[in-house]
Amino acid sequence: MGACSPCSIIFHVLSLLQVGLAVAICIIVGVKLQDVSFNSDNLTFSYSCLLGSDYGSSSLCTYTYAVAGISLAVSALVSLVQCCTCNLCGLGKIIDVILAAFGTAWWAIASGVIASNVSDTITGVDPAAVASVQSWRDAIPIMCYVETGLFAGMFVSGLFRCCSCCRG
């Protein structure tokens, strides 16, 4: 079984999808669920994150950025190391399985944290403003759960890649 086996193709497609989805999560949070205002007249700066239940709190947006950013950084680092070391001298498939297992756990925990906070209603804001971003607020935890599924799919296909390598 070579690099073009069905399990390898599935693994790499899922890998690309998880990177794209992590980038999409960051973009949606940054564009639709975060507001940074700067008034140059009196030099005031305001920041609000509409992802969490507390209107002025930035912690859930920051957490979401951190989860997606760390996931992207680790994926890029592993890819770069594998490329520079000729697939880690043949251990690349095993590293892929380990990364996928950690990624599944990483996103499963993050999905639970984000979903539990997004389910709370935003307080202290005009209800019309909340309604306008509610679908984006609902989309982020769903995307995080999909990210968990993508990493789980990478884990399963990675296991099959390792087993096919051992057989052949």
Integer CA distances (angstroms), 32 to 85, 102, 115, in order: 40, 29, 17
Q: Model pTM greater than 0.95?
A: no
Q: Distance between CA atoms of 145 and 16, rounded to whole angstroms?
A: 16
94 lies in some domain: yes
Q: How many domains does the chain have?
A: 1
- The string of pLDDT tens digits covering residues 42-93 is 666 666 788 876 655 678 899 999 999 999 999 998 888 877 777 777 788 8
Residue 107 within any structural domain of the chain: yes
Q: Does 25 have pLDDT greater than 80?
A: yes
Portion of the chain with pLDDT greater than 70, in percent: 82
Confidence of residue 153 (pLDDT cuts 50, 70, 90): very high
Q: For residue 161, is it within any domain?
A: yes
Is position 127 within any domain?
yes
